[in-house]
Amino acid sequence: MLSFVIPVRHPDNADNWRKLKENLNQTVGSIARQDDDRWRAVIVANHGADLPELPARFEVARVNLPPNRLYRQGGAEKEAFYEAVRSDKGRRVLAGMLHLGVAGHYMVVDDDDLVSRRLASFVAAHTGENGWFVRDGYVWSDGGALLYLHSDFSRLCGTSHIVRADLLALPASYEAVDETYIRRMLGSHVFIHDDLDASGSPLAPLPFVGAVYRTGHAGAHSRSKGILEQFFLHKSVLLQPKALADRLSRTRLRTSSINEEFFGA
């Protein structure tokens, strides 16, 4: 069984809740189109937060977490900013996992990203495996017709790991948890791959394109740029024909087959 956990920020940390809700609705539609019924999903949101209508197999875990006071870096030191973001996200992820219970595999999905509809069937066919990291994934400028195939996707995007539940060593309760664990194991995609390698439980690369990272929209917490700005409009690329040709070879049109697999269309 594959369990998707979608943490949603506090409404006070959203620049535009209407846009967040629209993106979340598309994320939900992407997950709901799985080609196998052996999956479930939980959205973690504050009490009172307005959510889109949800299809079958979706649950909601309501929390009373406060707004993240360092949601924007402002004048704060970079590490303090990162730790605040990871702590807030990690606590929401933990609430979702404890709501569902320890079983099968978990995948954390950011509330504006999209996933392959093949994930549930793949996990169901490999239930004893440690899990997988999304090596190959698409980067998509919100609303655009082009995608960029990124070959180190798990270092870029939070929607990028599937982990067998027991390997996460979840605490027995929400209160019995270490802050470092919250930030490192659940609140960030940066550490979990290497930490599981070091513990002797390595993740394998997912053998197909696993997710779409939506970038370039006003509500993106990372303030991510569109694919042109991220991957092409740099002197180091534009002045080197081989580098430019390689990156151009990674661009893909948003075709009907991609829509079917990722966009719930």
User: How do residues 206-263 score in pLDDT, each as one tens digit?
Assistant: 999 999 999 985 455 555 567 766 665 555 655 566 766 777 788 899 999 999 999 9
pLDDT tens-place string over residues 7-57: 999 999 998 999 999 999 999 999 999 999 999 999 999 999 999 999 999
pLDDT tens-place string over residues 131-185: 999 999 999 999 899 999 999 999 999 999 999 999 999 987 777 788 899 999 9
- What pLDDT, on a 0 to 100 scale, did the predictor assign at position 249? 80
Residues 6 or more apart whose CB falls under 8 angstroms from that of 130 comprise 163, 164, 167, 196, 201, 202, 203, 204
- What pLDDT, on a 0 to 100 scale, did the predictor assign at position 65? 96
Query: Rounded to two decimals, what is the model's pTM?
Result: 0.92
| pLDDT above 90: residue 93 | yes
| pLDDT above 80: residue 62 | yes
Which domain covers residue 87, as residue numbers? 2-263
Output the DSSP codes for the chain: -EEEEEE---GGG-S-HHHHHHHHHHHHHHHHT-SSS-EEEEEEEETT-------TTEEEEEE-PPP-TTSS-TTS-HHHHHHHHHHHHHHHHHHHHHHH-S-SEEEE--TT-EE-TTHHHHHHT-TTS-EEE--SEEEEETT-SEEEEETTGGGT-SS-EEEEGGGG---SSSSS--HHHIIIIIS-SSSHHHHHHHTT-PPEEPSS--EEEEES-TT-TT-PPPHHHHHTSSHHHHT-HHHHHHHHHTEEE--HHHIIIII--
Question: Rounded distance, CA 185 to CA 29, Å?
Answer: 27
- What pLDDT, on a 0 to 100 scale, did the predictor assign at position 145? 92
Alpha carbon distance, N-terminus to C-terminus of the chain:
24
In the chain, the number of structural domains is: 1
Burial 97-118 (b: 16+ CB within 10 A, else e): bbbbeeebbbbbbbbbbbbbbb
197: domain CATH number is 3.90.550
- What pLDDT, on a 0 to 100 scale, did the predictor assign at position 260? 96
